[in-house]
Chain A
Amino acid sequence: MDKKERFLQEVKVLSKSLSLFTIAFFGIGFFLMFLVLFPDTKLFDKSPNITTEEVVTESLEENSEIEIKDGIHTETGFIAANGLEAVINNCTNCHSAKLVTQNRMTREGWLTTIRWMQKTQNLWDLGDQESIILDYLAKNYAPENKGRRQNLTVEEWYELK
C-alpha cells in the first residue's frame, strides 16, 4: 500500500516537472526567437527618453556592471559616488544596504560602527578599502541637525467625510 502510494506520488511529481519543463522550454524558445527576430527590441528599456546623463552612466555600466538611475544604484539604493563599489563589496554581504542608507553618522561614528562589527559581527579587516568606505559614508550619509522636534510631514492630504 505504502509502496503504491509512493509510486503514485512519484508519477505525479514526474508529470508535474515534465509539464513545467515543457512550458519553460517553449517559453524560453519563443523568447529567444523574438530576440533573434527583433534584435533591437525596446522591450526592456526602462525609459524611452534617454537623457545625456543616462548615456554617461550607461557607459560606466559597461565596465563595472553597475546600474545607476537618478544618482542611485538601483539594486542597493546607495548614492552613486566615489567609493560605491567598495561599499557594496564590503557592506552588503551580511546585512541589507538599507541598514546603511537609513542611518546618518559622522566619519567617527561610521568608524566606531565598523570597529564594532569587526569586534562582534565577524566583519573582516577592510585594509586600504577602509578609508575609501569611510570617505564615502561620511560624505553621503552625514547627520543633519533635526532639532528637538521636527515639523510633521504629510504624505497625502485627503478629504475626511
Chain B
Amino acid sequence: MQRRDFISKTILASATLAAGTTIVYGKYLPKGYKPLILQDPDPFSMFKKDKEMLVLNDKPWNIESKAHLLNDDITPNKAMFIRNNGLLPENIDVENWTLTIDGESVSKTKTYTLNDLKSKFKQYTYQLTLECGGNGRKEFNPPAKGNQWGLGAVHCAEWTGVRLRDVLEDVEIKEDAVYIGYHAADIHLSRSPDKEPISRGCPMKKALEDETLIAFEMNGEAIPIAHGYPLRLVAGGWPASVSGKWINRISIRNIVHDGTKMTGQAYRVPCKPVAPGEKVADKDMCIIESMPVKSLITYPKTGAMLKLGQELSFNGHAWAGDLEVAKMEYSIDFGSTWHECEITAPKNRLAWQHFSAKTSFPEVGYYEIWARATDSNGKSQPMVLPGWNPKGYLNNACHRIAVKVS
C-alpha cells in the first residue's frame, strides 16, 4: 500500500510538473483516487473470464467458476477457474522457452525447445478433467485454512500436446525412478528468487499414462497465460496442482518429489480418518492421488421457479478421478428416493461425462435436486460432508440446487 501510494504521489508530481502548474492542486484530487494507469487491472478482461466468476484472491490470482457457467461439454476459457500459487511469470519468451528433463534418475540431462517438442514427438488431444484438491473447502466445519472454494474449481478442457512418456523414453530413465517433479517460471509471492511458489508432481505410473501430456494448446489455441502458457503438464483426474503451469523443467526423482507443496500438510489428507478439528502430525498425512467421484448440475441454475405440472429437464457433468462414473442418480425428496439419470461414456479416459434427466414435482413447494454419482468401484458421493481433514480437501458431497414450484 505504501509503495503504491508512493508511486501515486510520484506520478502525480510528474503530472503536475508536465501540466506546468504547481503541485498544490494535487491536494484537490479526491482521496483514494488514482490515475487510471495505476489502478489494478480488471481480472475479467485481463484473463477473458465471465463477469459472474468470483475472485477469491487477487495476489495470487484465485478465481472460481459457478455451476451454471460450466454447462458446456468442453469448458471454454471464460468459465475455467484460476488457482495460482505465486505471481504470473514475467516476460515470457516463447522463442527461447525450453523444457529440461533432469534429476537423479535420468542418464543424461536433456533440453528441448518448444519446436523440438512439437516436431519430434507425436501429438495427442484429450479432454481432461482438472479439479482443485481444495474444491468445496468452504463447507468444512471447523473451517480449513486457504482459499475458500465453493463448487467451481473444476473444468474439463481439451488439451493438445505430446505424451510425457514419449519424451521420457527419448531421455532414457533409470530403473530407480519413482516420481516426477515439475519446476516452473512463476514467481514466489515474496519475490524471493530462491523460493518456488509450487513444485509438485506424481509417481512414475501416473506420469507414464497415455493421457499425461506436456501440453501447448488448450481448446485448439495457445494456452491462455493464466492456465500455463506456453507449456503445461496435464495429468487429468488428480488434484489440478499436479498439472504444473509454465513448466520449464521436469526432474525425474529416485525419491518422492520433495518440492514446494509436496511436503508437510499441503495436498495431503490424514492416512487414517480423524474426528473434525483433530490435529494431525505431518507424518500421518498422505499425498492425495486420484480425486474422488463427483458431479455438478450445470443446468438449470439454482433458484428456478416453476409452475406446478411443468416438467424440468436438467443436466450436468460427472467425473471420478482415475476411474469412470458407472451410475448417476438424482433425488427431489432430500435423498429419500433416488432415480437414475442418463449418462454418456467419457470422450476419452479422464474426461468428464454428461448426465441428463427429466422430472416433475408432485405438489407446490420448495424442492432441492440432489445429484449423486457412483464410480466404477461402487463408491458414491456422500450426502453430507465427507471425512473432515485439516486442509479441507476432497469435498465431494452431493451437489444440490434449489427449486420452487407454485
Contact = CB atoms under 8 A, between A and B. Distances in A.
Q: Do A and B bind each other?
A: yes
Interface of A: 21, 24-25, 28-29, 32, 35-36, 39, 44, 61, 65, 67, 74-75, 88-89, 92, 94-96, 98-99, 102-105, 109, 113, 121-122, 143, 145-150, 152, 154-160
A57 to B, nearest CB: 12
A95 B189 contact: yes
9 contacts: A28-B16, A44-B30, A67-B31, A75-B1, A99-B57, A105-B145, A149-B383, A152-B400, A154-B303
- How many B residues touch the partner, as a band? 35 or more
B353 to A, nearest CB: 25
Contacts of B21: 29, 32
B91 interface: no
Contacts of B19: 24-25, 28-29, 32
B24 to A, nearest CB: 10
B45 interface: no
Contacts of A122: 190, 192, 195
Contacts of B302: 152, 154
Interface of B: 1, 15-16, 18-19, 21, 25, 28, 30-33, 55-60, 139, 141-143, 145-148, 189-190, 192, 195, 300-306, 310, 312, 368, 383-385, 397, 400-402, 404
Given A36-B25, A148-B385, A155-B303, A121 B30 contact: no
A108 to B, nearest CB: 10
Classify the secondary structure of B's interface with A.
loop
A160 B305 contact: yes
B329 to A, nearest CB: 18
A94 B85 CA distance: 12
Given A32-B28, A88-B1, A149-B139, A24 B368 contact: no
Contacts of A25: 18-19
Nearest to A36: B25
Nearest to B279: A112
A109 B141 contact: no
Classify the secondary structure of A's interface with B.
loop
Nearest to A160: B304
Given A65-B31, A157-B303, A96 B143 contact: no
B25 A157 contact: no
A160 B1 contact: no
A95 B59 contact: yes
A155 B397 CA distance: 21
A118 to B, nearest CB: 12
B397 A102 contact: no
Among A28, A89, A147, chain B packs the most CB atoms within 10 A around the CB of: A28
Contacts of A35: 25, 28
A149 B397 contact: yes
Contacts of A92: 1
A152 B18 contact: no
